[in-house]
Amino acid sequence: MKRRTPMLLCAAATTVALFGTAACSGSDVKSSSSAGSGTLTIQGDAGNPTLVENFNPFASTALHGQFLMYEPLEIPSPIDGTYTPFLATGYKFTNPTTLVYTLRPNVKWSDGQAFSANDVTFTFNLLKKFPALDTRGIWAQVASVSGAGNTFTVTFKQPNVPFAAQVAQVPIVAEHAWSSVADPVKYTDTKPVVTGPFTLDTFAPTQYKLKKNPNYWQADKVTPSEVAFPAQASNQATNQLDVTSGKFDWAYTFIPDVKNTYVNRDSAHNTYWFPPGGTIGLFLNLTKAPYDNVSFRKGVSESLNRTTIAQKAVNGYLDQASMSGLILPNLQKWLDPSIPNSGNITQSASQAQQDFAAAGYHLTGGKLIGSNGKQATMTIVMPGNFSDWVAAAKEVATELGQVGIKVSLDEPQYAQYSTATQGGTFDAAMGGFAGSGDPYTDFNNGLNSSFAAAVKTPTVNNFQRFKDPSVDQALGALAAATDPSAQRNATFALEQVMYNQVPVVLLYYGGSWGLFRDNHFTGWPSAQNPYTLPTNYTNAMLVVATRLQSAS
């Protein structure tokens, strides 16, 4: 938007005549970080109200900078699952329950000690000893681990090939640094000993800095000499204003009308990339009539104009979601070609009425009346502060109203939403589906009947409570499959279930809101080069940071 003109109002700031000069000289202090082209400035963690120093890579409250310091074995792209190797050079399944990683030689910790298989084994055993650290649920699947020489072997309890993605992403810590830590759950790790491209330099309550690790095994691939993380404000609108000032090389935030509000402020350097990172859907409670009727669900699905919904919800930044359950184009290679139109449903009132009729519902006087003589109703619950979900639900309500369903919206705080959805006491709910970059994980979390707990027994996964033995069978096959064609066949079967049985009415893709400036560094992920998501709060940062080049 408008450029900052710091001097203009100095004289006019009457309320503050006393401090006028101080205000003028002191206010526009841009973080000195963006000055040198060697500094990469990343819009950092939310400082609420100030940052709490914590780089423990297993803590949910760790500062994002830890992703540039600790390395895992490999990082799969959340887009299509392609691996970027870090502490491992590769992996293979010797059988569906045995996973063997080859570890990278000649890696040193930032304190100069050598990295070895013992560190990897130590890390995994640490997660076993302290389940609170095991955020990826490793030990629910893994029976044992062992390291020897340059290999690290993981034995699964039962075949689970796709779970390699979780094993690969565990950040590896140094045994010599962590073995003496009494309580690793509360440990704040303010002097991290790491293998990654950066080490901790300075920490202040509203900004911390990392400096390049000279010992890094691929130091030649690391361009920035320094990374600065200025804290975000607790006020989201302020953060958006802050982003437009151009002080960040890499920011992550939804921003309205991005072309005008961000790109045009410096069109030579400001770019954005908003790829799909998840799918937003209308979850119908499958334990309740009429939502347990597949024809009714199909009717709902066909009544919706998903293009309009995406337009209302996410400014049309993202497209309507494919009913195959896959995020497209990210997972295009897994898409069953026999699914019509890539799974994109076109709104069709006539088709919808046919399906509603099959479910015993007929349009009478503008109302969809069931065989019990009552109008079909639906209450959609969603957290009131998820504005895109609310906007989508409003459009859904309007469109379902046109086919005769009486829809009302319930917009509580997240906690109540979560109680209703997890307990299965809702009618319909807005929710997220998929987004891991791996079809098995997505379908397993969303459709596996083992998650479909009884009503009132909370479950986060599959909270719509879908149960289909053929799905469980396909998931089992996919978990055990190591050869690509078997994997594809199992995935296709799951897509068919998704498309034909509509366990979730998928609506539109949720975005990943990457905002970049290329005046200091180039090589950001983009539609042309979609090597990872633009999330600056996940391990995707490590992948990005080792690919950046200097702009000059």
Scanning 91-99, 182-190, 285-293, 468-476 for contacts with other proteins by CB under 8 A, the matching segment is: 182-190
Interacting residues with other proteins between 61 and 100 (CB under 8 A): 61
Q: Which of 96, 329, 360, 384 binds other proteins (CB under 8 A)?
A: 384
- Shortest approach of other proteins to residue 432 CB, angstroms? 4
Q: Which of 100, 117, 181, 241 binds other proteins (CB under 8 A)?
A: 241
Q: State yes or no: residue 157 binds other proteins (CB under 8 A).
A: no
Pairing, β 142-148 against β 198-204: unpaired
Q: Give me Rg for the CA atoms of the chain.
A: 25
Q: Hey, what are 83's tokens?
A: 């691996």
Q: Which of 82, 98, 135, 225 binds other proteins (CB under 8 A)?
A: 135
The residue behind tokens 């001097």 is: 7
Q: Which of 153, 240, 375, 501 binds other proteins (CB under 8 A)?
A: 240
395 within 8 A of 308, measured Cβ to Cβ: yes
- Shortest approach of other proteins to residue 123 CB, angstroms? 16
Q: Which of 107, 255, 310, 502 binds other proteins (CB under 8 A)?
A: 255
- Shortest approach of other proteins to residue 280 CB, angstroms? 5
User: Which of 232, 235, 248, 242 has the alpha carbon at shortest distance from 51?
Assistant: 232
Interacting residues with other proteins between 486 and 545 (CB under 8 A): 509-512, 535
Interacting residues with other proteins between 436 and 475 (CB under 8 A): 436, 442, 445-446, 451, 459-461
Task: Please spell the DSSP secondary structure of 338-397, one letter per residue.
Answer: TSGGGGPPPP-HHHHHHHHHHTT-EEETTEEE-TTS-B-EEEEE--TT-HHHHHHHHHHH
Interacting residues with other proteins between 198 and 227 (CB under 8 A): 202, 204-207, 209
Number of residues that bind other proteins (CB under 8 A): 110
Classify each residue of 26-46 as buried b or exposed e, where b means 16 or more C-beta atoms within 10 Å of its C-beta.
Answer: eeeeeeebbeebbbbbbbbbb
Q: State yes or no: residue 277 binds other proteins (CB under 8 A).
A: yes
374 within 8 A of 360, measured Cβ to Cβ: no
Q: State yes or no: residue 143 binds other proteins (CB under 8 A).
A: no
DSSP three-state, residue 259 = helix
Q: State yes or no: residue 379 binds other proteins (CB under 8 A).
A: no
Interacting residues with other proteins between 279 and 298 (CB under 8 A): 279-280
Q: State yes or no: residue 28 binds other proteins (CB under 8 A).
A: yes
Neighbours of 266 (CB within 10 A): 14
Provide the H-helix boundaries in 412-483. 414-423, 439-447, 469-480
Question: Residue 107 or residue 392: which is nearer to other proteins going by CB?
Answer: 392
Q: State yes or no: residue 59 binds other proteins (CB under 8 A).
A: yes
Q: State yes or no: residue 482 binds other proteins (CB under 8 A).
A: no
Q: What angle do CA 5, 51, 534 make, to 5 degrees?
A: 70
Q: Which of 391, 477, 486, 551 binds other proteins (CB under 8 A)?
A: 391
User: Which of 521, 520, 522, 524 has the alpha carbon at shortest distance from 533?
Assistant: 524
Q: State yes or no: residue 278 binds other proteins (CB under 8 A).
A: yes
Q: Hey, what are 477's tokens?
A: 């096959």
Q: State yes or no: residue 263 binds other proteins (CB under 8 A).
A: no
- Shortest approach of other proteins to residue 30 CB, angstroms? 9
94 within 8 A of 88, measured Cβ to Cβ: no
- Shortest approach of other proteins to residue 541 CB, angstroms? 15
